[in-house]
Amino acid sequence: MSPAPTPVSYADFYRQSIDQPDAFWAEQAKLIDWFKPFERVCNYDNPPFARWFEGGQTNLCHNAVDRHVKERANQAALIAISTETGTEKTYTFNDLHREVQRMAASLKSLGVQKGDRVLIYMPMVADAAFAMLACARIGAIHCVVFGGFASGSLASRIDDATPKVIVSADAGSRGGKPTPYKHLLDEAIRLAKHKPDAVLLSDRQLAPMDLVAGRDHLWSELRQQHIDAQVPCEPMNSTDISYTIYTSGTTGKPKGVQRDTAGYTVALAASMQHIFGGRAGETFFATSDIGWVVGHSYIVYGPLIAGMATIMYEGLPTQGLDGQPDGGIWWSLVEKYKVTGMFSAPTAVRVLKKQDPALLKKYDLSSLRALYLAGEPLDAPTARWISEGLNVPIIDNYWQTETGWPLLTVANGVAPMASKFGSPGVPMYGYNVKLLHENTGEELTQPNEKGVVVLDGPTPPGFMQTIWKDDARFVNTYWKSIPGKLVYNTFDWGIRDEDGYYFILGRTDDVINVAGHRLGTREIEESISGHAAVAEVAVVGVADNLKGQVAMAFVVLKDARAVNDPAVSLQLEREIMKQVDGDLGAVARPARVRFVTALPKTRSGKLLRRVIQAVCEGRDAGDVTSMDDPGALQQIKDLMAS
Ligand code: PRX
């Protein structure tokens, strides 16, 4: 293999990653520890399946924890802060090493072996990070399910992942109120066909828990039994699965995005250096949740792999450690822990925008070098407001659960590069990004043409390997959506300007983004259809100033008379919202449920969600000549105007 030439600019760095991917990624692979060197950088013999670093062996937990114990045993690794319970605790790398081994031994004692799945349904507490790292340590595949999801969502994920053990807690907490988990978990296990052998529970003493004898175990007890446990890191083949994470698509069945071990570790190590400019000994603060991909990559694994301390934060951005309102809590943490890199979502900034701007000046934020924002479009006024307030670069980054790390942004760690308001930036190294014409599939080469954002394979390390247990769905959903071409479809619209900067214009499919949470309208529709009074339903995402989008449901009732009775409608709206809360969780609850006598459809019976959405947003509905019943659309127009 010829040595990689030293890049002089980001353009060169990027070109090398595309033209000489083996040399490029072999160089990046030096950022991590290997138990056994790899023999082949990329095996793309069977497109679109890219297999990275074949023949090598490594371990994600070793790279995140053990290798730092030698040099920085007593430096902070995990800083767990909860403004919900008023707690703040720092675990050094040494402490983390111990806790993870205790958790690993506990999981093993419950029968977990390499390759087994462990489903983690937890609030943002340190135990959740221990559980993830412990799985990686022993080669178990973790499947973290967002704590805001309810029994129905959880049950379908239990059935898909078939976990041997579930790790959970008595409760989360929001706005000072406990949100009990255990009864939701019990109900999910009752609903699921697959039954886990054991449940390991962290008892925060926030809500009472009934333990099921023989199945449920308390982490506090097992931890004590394994207090001195020494559990070595399992040597994992590069392409062994590290985890799966469920994400919404256009069908009601969520997809288990599956990731490898070595490629993911290398990708995160590289991104911490080139994109986030993080250095060992510094502190990173990502405000997401472990239930989402940002939590996996940039709360737990990325910063730790880089030898940084990571802040794990439970609570609202507007509540202090004493439980009192405090719109400056995040900035006080930046000052206290000398945070150098912070990662959040535009929604959170829009919430903070309503707070007193003086709060941004109250603390010494001189440690902070940049604020990274992702998950939804960053509007220019929000970007400007926070940029002026913090006086640091605001760096938009565009990616997906599927990609695992940023696809479009600026890599200031490689070479300083200007950002443009409204654009996440340029393609990141390793991503061969193209824009295709939506109908012809032709590549768009001229600036400022709107097309579908796609990737040519091989996709870079860290990218999803496949959909868990469903290679065919992976290929058909993502790679065969454009006739005649084998390209990865992001399902996002984009344009590229004359300087090569991309602008993301929203999804091409029925996935919506509510306060940075990715939701499938089909899942919400399925839940609503479960209500006995409902004949038909359409859910669309509608633009919202604070949350980016909110879900709006339009329902046709079996008994149309209720539509004209305000009291009945109100009652049904409440019931339907409750139904969604119970099935999916409040995160998926529509902002409004409105009742109509018919839904706008094509003559062939296809629901015109995009037309409904346009009308809800007060936009022109476009060509509606194919519509079956124009009166249906008029009803929605009237409702929105009322
Ligand atoms: O539509 C894009 C939007 O969020 C989707 C991916 O969501 P998720 O799988 O939850 O991953 C989030 C990882 C940060 C994308 O298909 N999206 C994400 N980031 C941006 C964005 N839209 C505009 N600008 C962004 N920076």
Mean pLDDT check: name the lowest of 192-206, 422-436, 510-524.
510-524
Q: What is the pLDDT of residue 354?
A: 87
Winning range, highest mean pLDDT, from 80-89, 518-527, 600-609: 80-89
Ligand 1 atom closest to Cα of 516? 10
Q: What is the pLDDT of residue 253?
A: 83
Name the percent of the chain lying above pLDDT 70: 98
Domains and CATH numbers, the chain: 432-507 (2.30.38.10), 515-641 (3.30.300.30)
Nearest alpha carbon, ligand 1 atom 16: 400
Band the pLDDT of 616: cuts 50, 70, 90.
very high
Q: Shortest CA distance to 134 belongs to which of 158, 160, 110?
A: 110
Residue 376 has pLDDT above 70, yes or no: yes
513, 517, 521, best to mutate for ligand 1 pocket (most atoms within 8 Å of CB) = 513
Which residues line ligand 1 at a C-beta cut-off of 6 Å? Answer: 247, 292-294, 374-378, 396-401, 424, 490, 492, 504, 507, 513, 518
Describe the chain by its helix, strand, coil percentages, rounded to 5.
35, 25, 40
In the predicted model, what is the mean pLDDT of residues 15-43? 98
Is pLDDT at 3 greater than 60 in this prediction?
A: no
Mean pLDDT of 259-288: 98
Residue 1: per-residue pLDDT: 43
Q: What is the mean pLDDT of residues 425-444?
A: 96
In degrees to the nearest 10, what's the CA dihedral of 283, 288, 293, 297? 0
- Between 389-403, 523-537, 556-570, the lowest mean confidence (pLDDT) is in 556-570
For residue 547, how far is its CA from the centre of ligand 1 (angstroms)? 14
pTM of the model: 0.94
Tokens 């049950």 map to which residue? 155
Contact 485, 513 (CB under 8 A): no
> Cβ atoms within 10 A of the Cβ of 303, count?
29
Residue 440: helix, strand or coil by DSSP?
A: coil
* Confidence at residue 4, expressed as pLDDT on a 0 to 100 scale: 55
Structure tokens at 4: 């990689």
Judged against a pLDDT cut of 70, whether residue 31 lies above it is answered with yes
- Distance, CA 401 to ligand 1 centroid (Å)? 8
pLDDT in tens, 189-219: 999 999 999 999 999 999 999 999 999 999 9
Closest CA to 430 of 399, 393, 401: 399
Residue nearest to atom 14 of ligand 1 (CA): 375
Instruction: Please tell me the distance between residue 223's alpha carbon and the centre of ligand 1 in angstroms.
Output: 38
State how far the Cα of 465 lies from the Cα of 443, in Å rounded to an integer.
25
Give the residue, by CA position, lying nearest to ligand 1 atom 13. 400
Least confident range of 469-473, 576-580, 634-638? 634-638
- The DSSP bridge partners found for residue 174 are 177
User: What is the number of the ligand 1 atom nearest to the C-alpha of 406?
Assistant: 14
Q: What is the mean pLDDT of residues 251-259?
A: 89
Cα 6 to Cα 3: distance, rounded to the nearest angstrom:
9
Number of the ligand 1 atom closest to the C-alpha atom of 247: 9
Cα–Cα distance between 271 and 179 in angstroms, integer? Answer: 35
396 C-alpha to ligand 1 centroid (Å): 11
| Range with lowest mean pLDDT among 92-96, 413-417, 582-586, 618-622 | 618-622
Ligand 1, atom 15, residue with closest C-alpha: 400
Q: Lowest mean pLDDT: which of 216-225, 330-339, 354-363?
A: 354-363
Q: Among the listed ranges 238-252, 379-393, 552-566, which one has the minimum average pLDDT value?
A: 552-566
> How far, in Å, is the centroid of ligand 1 from the Cα of 494?
12
Task: Point out which residues pair with 449 in neighbouring strands.
Answer: none
Quote the pLDDT of residue 634: 87
Q: How confident is the model at residue 379 (pLDDT cuts 50, 70, 90)?
A: confident
Give 170 Cα–ligand 1 centroid separation in angstroms: 31
Closest-CA residue, ligand 1 atom 6, reads 400
Phi and psi at residue 622, in whole multiples of 5°? 75, -155
* DSSP per-residue string spanning 391-436: -S-EEEEB--TTTSS-SEE--TTTS-----TT--BEEPTT-EEEEE
Tokens 């214009």 belong to residue: 505
- Name 113's Cβ contacts closer than 8 Å, sequence gap at least 6: 138, 139, 140, 164
Mean pLDDT of the chain: 94
- Is pLDDT at 113 greater than 90 in this prediction? yes
pLDDT band at 5 (very low <50, low <70, confident <90, very high): low
Beta partners for residue 512, in sequence order: 519
CA–centroid distance, 190 to ligand 1, in Å, is 34
Q: What are the φ/ψ torsions at residue 569 (nearest 5 degrees)?
A: -60, -45
Q: Are strands 548-557 and 534-544 parallel, antiparallel or unpaired?
A: antiparallel
Mutate to test the pocket of ligand 1, among 288, 492, 505, 509 (most ligand atoms within 8 A of CB): 492
- From ligand 1's centre to the CA of 463, what distance in Å? 15
Nearest atom within ligand 1 for CA of residue 504: 23
